[in-house]
Amino acid sequence: MHTKSTNEQQRRLLILLKRQSRTPGGRIWRTLYERLQAPRRARIAVNIADLQRHFQKGHTMVVPGKVLSEGIVTDKLQVAALSFSSNARVKIMAVGGKCFSLEQLMEKNPSGKNLRLIM
């Protein structure tokens, strides 16, 4: 039996992602929608070291889970995630990087171009 999330903010996010996935080029939003619909125990947690390894200039990295602070940041990362640990946010911002929520990312880049999905 599948139960829906009781987190109202996450339910709104899922509705927005589903709506955005129907637009042209909405494939990445569909993938995010499907990943976030999975049970909480199946969500990913990504360390900054992993983001640093997959970094490409001009791309925003998208994490359908939580960003954790293990590792060193040397590049100006642009990261959008469901959530960030407080230390991860501080480390990214300290070198001039940016942290976005998934809602902010959809407003900033509705076409989904130059995004790298980290799973």
Give backbone dihedrals phi and psi of 34, rounded to 5 degrees, phi first.
-65, -40
Task: Please state, in angstroms and rounded to a whole number, the distance separating the CA atoms of residues 116 and 31.
Answer: 12
Place of tokens 């490409």: 56
The token pair at 86 is 């407080």
> pTM of the entire structure?
0.87
pLDDT mean over 8-33 = 90
Q: Using one digit for the tens of pLDDT, what is the confidence trace for 28-77?
A: 999 999 998 888 888 899 999 999 999 989 899 999 999 999 999 999 99
d(CA 27, CA 44): 20
Ordered by where they begin, the domains of the chain are 8-117 (3.100.10.10)
Q: Tokens for 81?
A: 């995630």
